[in-house]
Chains A and B, each alone.
Chain A
């Protein structure tokens, strides 16, 4: 009975409010051309109900007398707030999508007005992600958000991408952010072949389906994700339909042409032959001077070496062609790349809704050739988003995408047959063996062109990402929402190495990997917005979340193929490896958040999350992660309210604790491996346990200032932060004599501190518009305590007192002017020719000091022009292949980069390039010689688009046509000898430790692509 009376009161309340309201009408038009805009949402500020404009852009809305402001919002346009001021007709012209201070941002388990946010959140809108010719959305947001550093390691497609939010905050645990798609955490660890380069599981999310990306940077924003939030959180929200909107179709088709941004340049046949002869002369002289062989005269030695090199090197690799007359002059570097790499993308979506149901469906295809041969990425799939208001109180919905992607590639960067290493082949080697008429199999290194011709490596991923939800509005102030989501990744990778290729070793080899990762996640939470009356506003979220992941994989290797006719393993005769694995993890979490504001002036937020994880022992399973924040909207104060110049000013500060547990499974346990000595299956000590292992903790404090001047024509924010990570989850070396190599311990401290600044200005308004956005971030990392541990990974290391990513190499000191021999700095700072006397020292760091982006948007009539620069500053790049490419044969007969032409040749030459020599080479070791300044500024993107006038369209019943052309990586300024966006991806089998401590290494890395795109977008 009481229920009915409650309903009655509610009804009465509704009627009352109806009786007191008055109607406002108006028309919404496009600021650019004055054409009507259908489907624009109009709401009274602070209320949920609203309406949308009809096909003529006209709307009608009942508003209560107290309602002061209407909010107009439409996808692709900036929200606009218009004061009612007693009017009954309000006409509005919506403008371009300039970020506005009143926009809504997605936060964990809810949304907030940007105005009320007390944390540091960067938002990237759909427009900045769409139509960019890269497979995954992280690449598309590179340079767009201050403090988010995105490194796509090479110009290959589908490879792993390193993302760091406010620096690297761990050593042995992952430093990649947590990705949440529509409320569900997605699996971002890879599934593929552990001996190949890492791939990127996030490529399965179609960038064109994304409505917005929010990056939660500070603790108050991210701590609601507690234990997994130390590295920041990236919230991806996909597109949804709109209520009361007639169905709109959107077709986008584009095509691209790409080439490498830069080639290094290697010696031609003549230069190479001359250099070999110079090496013969140098080696002959050295041999004679040492008396090694016992030649009678120096000339005799030189003649003998020349003869030897002519026959053993030049005759041999030229395959008997007449190298003396330069019969062959092969540019192997050109063989690495396609003439033109082509890509095509098609996206078709439909969106709309009636008063109770709204939907978004899309289908997409993209096929993308990498600039490097044999590397291609294709993806197709579909997405459905459906929301339905079942009753006045109950909303249900589903959000689901299915996706198939295929990555074709050849072997990894470390293998001789990878196309990138073709540059090492010598220019006198012909492409075709004149004896056999087939591709040359007698090259200096395995001829990758043979592998490109015969071998395949195909990785096919099916991914279903979806969730269903029900949300029940118990009371106007109380809502309960339950979400269940799954992320199902099915990956199959097949490689085949033909017996005709060199990797096939004459017998043919194959491997098949099947991997399945199934995540199940559920979020159940109350949203509580009690009516406190007056100027108090309170919003709370209370709930729980459970995540389980089950990862199974099976791998088989076999060899002995009779021919290439059958490429799967049924064509092989001997199975050489077969195994299956299973990993599981679970997280159980409870969370609470409260946001309070007083008079829209004083803001406070608090959140707390308790997380339990299977990754820690029973005694240390749970971690509690609180965060708090305060905000003061100074512009709401009376003394500023009337200011014409200042439209918005907010000061905010936050502090909080987040955690990290991304260390893989079972690290707290002592474990024995299973071994397979023939007929004697056994156990072998593998890892030594640590029952005390617990969460890695990061305390972050942040202070920010948001401002808007002159009606927000100048707006921006500035943030300073400090992140202190303690109890680092560290894989600590222990004496191997124990039988174990390392133990996971909570040891050490690291800090990141920095400052971020972003600014948006609307320089010109009116018919000709010009907006500028600029962001810059500075981050300084320091390992403050490692208790004496030194963690080495190749040329880099992590050590107390230094920044992570430091290059640690002996210092190179040029060529001895008298002898041409390589010089190094010894411990007293003097030069020495003895490499073993040169201590290693910090000679650079792979992490930049400054990163940022700079965008200018111009629009005039239907034309839009966007010009976007990115830059990084203060980082070093280590050319790991330098010891082969420019040491004058000291490390083999590889063709040399052109800087070898500055080599030492005679006494008195002052140069950084030592003399050449094959048998008596010099300077073969890895030193600071191969460290370069990695700073760059790059014209990342220029897009010119033209919107055909709407008046012309309406006759065709088409809502809009946009044609566009774009160019990517058009211009770059850098001191580096190749493309500066370089980060040879570590192998999948390598640990987090090496991913965190290393970076900026170029090892035959494929440069980025310079791409031209042309496309058309039709809305109908």
Chain B
């Protein structure tokens, strides 16, 4: 009997010991991610900053849609969509509705970038003091440009007036640890207030960022170039000219000898002021997303966006930009003409190039009147860009020349829509302030945040 009892006790004991030992095994840490408590050092905070660069690289941000969706919206005279994706087609046809997945994606990715940099700004004190200023400035740069694109896509343009009553997007300037509906369901801020924040952030960034920076990170001139865009939208031409001039004269950028050399590079070209880097392992997409995916012909891309033949008539025959195209077919077999700007996968995407800033200085100087900032005339500026392309220099410059030259120089780089909007031009037969040229506030977002209003037309 004793032995039996002994064995019973032993097996009961075995069960309990096994149980106690296993209890600790219920603590399992994630193996692929980190928890916020693990952000403790300056290097960790910088890593969060770099995480926001990664958000900028995403196809829902500058990796594709911030540029490509603008091109589709303003596409009527320059390109046609021949692809099968219904959401892009709707944007191209301006038939998008409030459930547009593209709008939801862009909205969401922007706020991921913002959440990261807000965290950086809150934890800036653990960063080494020698770097605190520049890291904070870099965070503000990212927040500034992201809000700038948000206000542009989701609000009526600044040129439409009523900037204090037209609504843009919620301004989120603090990170969120847990979700508290009363605190976190913020209404949309006015276009004016978002612009104010953008200018504040970019001004701080320009002041705190270094003159140069490695690995595609923002520097002082990246911030100034974006500031120039902001002021142009507002019609503040003197400020725009000053910011642009600062970039041109002190930035150390040079136009490449040919337009071809400005694209499909593995790193920044000499005329790139801000780029999105891509590699084979880190990119905005290779089969269903990405600039190259849509703009390059099969087999490199899907070839979904083709250049309208009529658009090429806007160039002189000797203009090398006219020849910077090639023939190909789309994934559905539709033959057509393709831009050479995004011919290859895994290349850097120029976000701001020097030629844009030169054209901005030219136009800003022209429109403000008086002595040109920087001492270079608008005609000289515009001809610098034209002569690089071997286009005939202009003899005189008129108001319309600036938009036309931007359309030629910056085609398929996402500039056209904003030029149309700030100069109150048209897209096809739509006015610059047509509701369909503004993206809908995502319906899914309104489902969870009742304080959000919807844009007109949705």
Contact = CB atoms under 8 A, between A and B. Distances in A.
A733 B447 contact: yes
A524 B38 CA distance: 38
Contacts of A681: 47, 50
Interface string A647-688: 000000000000000000110011111111111111111111
B116 A684 contact: yes
Nearest to B33: A671
Contacts of B112: 684-685, 739
A443 B448 CA distance: 45
B47 A683 contact: yes
B281 A676 contact: yes
Nearest to A893: B332
Contacts of B33: 666, 671-674, 686-687
Nearest to A574: B280
Interface in A421-446: 442-446
A548 B21 CA distance: 13
A118 to B, nearest CB: 27
A686 B33 CA distance: 9
Contacts of B282: 676-678
A695 interface: no
A919 B300 CA distance: 27
A669 B278 contact: no
Contacts of A581: 31-32
Interface in A529-585: 543-544, 546, 548, 559, 574-578, 581-585
B281 A474 contact: no
A6 B2 CA distance: 10
Contacts of B53: 675, 677, 680, 682
Nearest to A7: B1
Contacts of A747: none
B50 A588 contact: no
A735 interface: yes
Given A317-B333, A524-B11, A544-B15, A586 B47 contact: no
B218 to A, nearest CB: 12
B176 interface: yes
Contacts of B177: 670, 688
A522 B55 CA distance: 45
Given A444-B333, A683-B39, A737 B18 contact: no
B31 A583 contact: yes
Nearest to B1: A2
A738 B15 contact: no
Given A546-B22, A683-B47, A586 B28 contact: yes
Contacts of B52: 682, 684
B104 interface: yes
A733 B444 contact: yes
Interface string B159-189: 0000000000110100111110000111000
Nearest to B286: A576
B30 A666 contact: yes
A682 B54 contact: yes
B51 interface: yes
Interface in B21-52: 22-23, 25-28, 30-36, 38-39, 44, 46-52
Contacts of B313: none
Contact of B108 (A502, A678, A680, A741): A741
Contacts of A817: none
Contact of A678 (B14, B178, B215): B215
Contacts of A688: 176-179
B206 interface: no
Given A3-B3, A665-B28, A683-B47, A737 B281 contact: no
A745 to B, nearest CB: 9
B216 A738 contact: no
Contacts of A891: 86
A474 B3 CA distance: 10
B111 A586 contact: no
B331 interface: yes
A63 to B, nearest CB: 29
Interface in A723-776: 733-741, 743
Nearest to B104: A736
Given A575-B281, A583-B31, A736-B108, A676 B54 contact: yes
B447 A588 contact: no
Contact of B116 (A504, A588, A590, A739): A739
B134 interface: no
Contacts of B178: 688-690
B309 interface: no
A734 B184 contact: yes
Given A442-B333, A680-B50, A685 B116 contact: yes
A684 B332 contact: no
A34 interface: no
B30 A669 contact: yes
B1 A682 contact: no
B19 A584 contact: no
A172 to B, nearest CB: 15
Contacts of B49: 682
B198 to A, nearest CB: 16
Interface string A823-836: 00000000000001
Nearest to B170: A737
B119 interface: yes
Contact of B185 (A475, A733, A735): A735
Contact of B28 (A507, A584, A741): A584
Contact of A546 (B18, B54, B278): B18
A213 B418 CA distance: 66
B298 to A, nearest CB: 8
A677 B32 CA distance: 17
B257 interface: no
Nearest to A551: B31
Nearest to B12: A526
Interface in B269-284: 277-282
A801 interface: no
A309 interface: no
Nearest to A2: B1
A295 interface: no
B32 A674 contact: yes
B376 interface: no
A738 B28 contact: no
Contact of A738 (B26, B39, B115): B115
B338 to A, nearest CB: 15
Given A585-B28, A613-B26, A677 B280 contact: no
Contacts of B36: 670, 672
A317 B329 CA distance: 13
Interface in B321-369: 329, 331-333, 335
Contacts of A790: 447
A683 B117 CA distance: 11
Which of A482, A577, A666, A739 has the most C-beta atoms of chain B within 10 angstroms of its own C-beta?
A: A739
A13 B52 CA distance: 80
B119 A685 contact: yes
Interface string A578-621: 10011111101010000000000000000000001110001001
Q: What are the 9 closest A-B residue pairs judged by CB atoms, nearest first?
A: A739-B115, A682-B50, A684-B51, A675-B54, A682-B51, A680-B50, A614-B28, A671-B33, A736-B108
Given A504-B299, A670-B177, A678-B278, 6 more contacts: A472-B11, A576-B280, A577-B280, A582-B32, A737-B449, A892-B332
27 contacts: A480-B11, A544-B15, A544-B19, A546-B25, A577-B281, A586-B22, A674-B32, A675-B55, A676-B282, A677-B53, A678-B215, A680-B217, A682-B51, A682-B54, A684-B52, A685-B112, A688-B179, A733-B444, A735-B448, A736-B104, A736-B107, A736-B108, A737-B184, A737-B449, A739-B116, A741-B108, A836-B97
Interface of B: 1-4, 7-8, 11, 14-15, 18-19, 22-23, 25-28, 30-36, 38-39, 44, 46-55, 57, 84, 86, 95, 97, 104, 107-108, 111-112, 114-116, 118-119, 169-170, 172, 175-179, 184-186, 214-217, 277-282, 286, 298-300, 329, 331-333, 335, 442, 444-445, 447-449
